[in-house]
Amino acid sequence: MSIGTKIRNLLRRTGHEVGLHASAMRNRRTDRPRVLFFPSGRREGASLLRAYNMADALTRTGWHAAAVPADLKLPARRRVIRHFAPDILVFQQCRHALNDTALRYGDPVVLDTDDADFFLTIPGLVERLQRTSQAAVGVMAGSQFIQEWHAQHNANAAVIWTGTPITAGPRPDHHARQSDGPPILAWAQAAPLSYVNELDFVRGLVADLRAQGAAFRLRFYGIATEEERDRLRAMFPDLPDLQMLPPMGYDAFLQSLHQVAVGLSPIITRNEFSRGKSFGKILGYLDAKVPVIASDEADHARFFTETTGVVTNDRDEWLRQILALLGDPDRRNRMADAAFEAFPRDLSIEAAARKTDAFLRDLLTTR
């Protein structure tokens, strides 16, 4: 690493820490409860939705809340904690080596997790996760499957689904989405080549759709390199309208979904990690009014109904429903509108904040 890069990183970390100290000073005299979130990653994905966004949402409900960037090292974390004087610390996952109750931060810790990280083989992660789950005053789990694992280690484990801010503005009608060509069928998994079983499932569906004479364009997301593009082209050699979009920011991702006719969310549980998936990219589909076809795994069936989406593990039913939706923009409009109406109640950031607020306040009253 060059000296210039080291200096820039130091200045960035210093700026982050100064901002947190300034926030602590501005709110020093308030009697609002205080919570610090410690995301495991950058301001994207689960770290964005369950740490940064949640801190902002709780601030609107009467908390003094902030998210501590993952690049702050242990001494800076300790300084921020002393000055901020939080009532509760929230560790968003334990993938960050410093999200570990063994480091004895001195404040009650809540573990927040929305992936089945107990199946990962990252050195030290499972031990850190179990240790933190056991020592935490509570666990907020992104799905029932994850809650059940943590309930073995913590008696106070609750399901709180990941919520997202709902964007403003109109969404295109589904007739307009195919005005420039066949409707787009999308699998919005960020790293599709890493999900071998799910990718095989999608390949089989595409072959069957083409055999049925369906007209559509297939879209993948998160394709970062030419090597990845070559691998996908080799898997779909006879598909002329294969779209491979590069990694992008979340706002751009949501905007791109305005072009999509049908969104796929397959989960094949031969990969144990997949059993713990939360709603993930389904949140983007809902925001963009994209009809969803999902596996009957995770908590999909707890949210979707017959009118708001398709939840099934029957491959033939997947094929029938995709064909029906691709061929009927009015049907897509009806399903997407019904799902969008249910979206704020269960999967918005406000819905998640209400549950998180109640969970954390209950901890304060029982301490």
pLDDT of residue 7: 64
Helix (H) or strand (E) holding 219: strand 217-220
Contacts with 183 (C-beta within 8 Å, 6 or more apart), sequence order: 174, 177, 215, 216, 217, 261, 262, 326, 329
- Per-residue pLDDT 10s for the chain (367 aa) are 677 666 676 667 776 766 775 676 676 667 899 999 999 999 988 999 999 999 999 999 999 999 999 999 999 999 999 999 999 999 999 999 999 999 999 889 999 999 999 999 999 999 999 999 999 999 999 999 999 999 999 999 999 999 999 999 999 999 999 989 999 999 999 899 999 999 999 999 999 999 999 999 999 999 999 999 999 999 999 888 899 999 998 899 999 999 999 999 999 987 788 788 888 889 999 999 999 999 999 899 999 999 999 999 999 999 999 999 999 999 999 999 999 999 999 999 999 999 999 999 999 987 6
pLDDT of residue 204: 96
Class of residue 355 by CB neighbours under 10 A (exposed 0-12, middle 13-18, buried 19+): middle
- Give CA torsion, residues 294, 296, 297, 303, to 10 deg: 70
Q: Nearest-CA neighbor of 84 among 150, 134, 34?
A: 34
Token pair for 232: 């996908």
Q: Domain limits of the chain?
A: 3-163+348-366, 176-346
Q: Sign of torsion, CA 308 309 311 316?
A: positive
Distance CA 214, CA 207 (A): 10
Contacts with 352 (C-beta within 8 Å, 6 or more apart), sequence order: 50, 54, 57, 160, 161, 162, 163
Length, in residues, of the chain: 367
Sole residue written with tokens 């999308």: 186
Distance CA 264, CA 274 (A): 15
pLDDT of residue 257: 98
Token pair for 72: 């702050």
Token pair for 24: 């602590």
- What are 110's strand-pairing partners? 90, 138
Distance CA 131, CA 308 (A): 39
Q: Say whether 5 sits in a helix, a strand or coil.
A: helix
Token pair for 280: 């993930």
CATH of 176-346 given 3.40.50.2000, 3.40.80.10, 3.90.190.10, 3.10.20.30: 3.40.50.2000
Q: Nearest-CA neighbor of 291 among 310, 268, 313?
A: 310
* Rg (alpha carbons) of the chain, rounded to whole number: 22
- The model carries a pTM of 0.87
- Give CA torsion, residues 123, 124, 127, 130, to 10 deg: -90
Q: Give the CB-side neighbour count of residue 192, counting CA atoms within 13 A.
A: 31
The CATH fold assigned to 3-163+348-366 is Rossmann fold (3.40.50)
Two domains, one topology: 3-163+348-366 and 176-346: yes
Distance CA 308, CA 216 (A): 22
